[in-house]
Amino acid sequence: MTKKLNCILLIDDDEATNYIHQKVIVDLECAKRVITVHSGQEALDFLNNRETKDKLPIDLIFLDINMPAMNGWEFLEHYKKLDPLKKAKTILFMLSTSLNPNDRKIATEIDDVNGFETKPLTEEKIIKIFKTHFS
């Protein structure tokens, strides 16, 4: 890929899923950095506490729906209240194993969500996202 994002944030409680998704991203060489967190709360803490002036901006977030403690929907409720500078340049995709059409419908009704993909994340899905949002 010729376009390289600054940073992609993966939010998923499953270690194996994070490993696979990170590997696909690294193999495509589409981001300078990939950060993984394991819960919605960990993601909020990360976004709220990072010094943005010295860090690469987050360009893309992949968010799982089903996580313990704070699921993806609950994360989004808090995310929409974040300082806009902490969300700047961010495209957010729901990434889930859920085949429930209602999950997809709800995701499309949330302003901060740019799309919904089923797991696993593949090179084809990333290329499609890049063509749509980063060309």
Round to whole Å and give the CA distance between 111 and 109.
6
Q: What is the pTM of this model?
A: 0.93
Q: At 56, give phi and psi (nearest 5°).
A: -65, 135
pLDDT score for 50: 80
Q: What secondary structure letter does DSSP report for 110?
A: S
pLDDT in tens, the chain (135 residues): 667 999 999 999 999 999 999 999 999 999 999 999 999 999 999 999 887 556 788 999 999 999 988 999 999 999 999 988 888 688 999 999 888 889 999 999 999 999 999 999 999 999 999 999 998
Round to whole Å and give the CA distance between 51 and 74.
24
Round to whole Å and give the CA distance between 128 and 125.
5
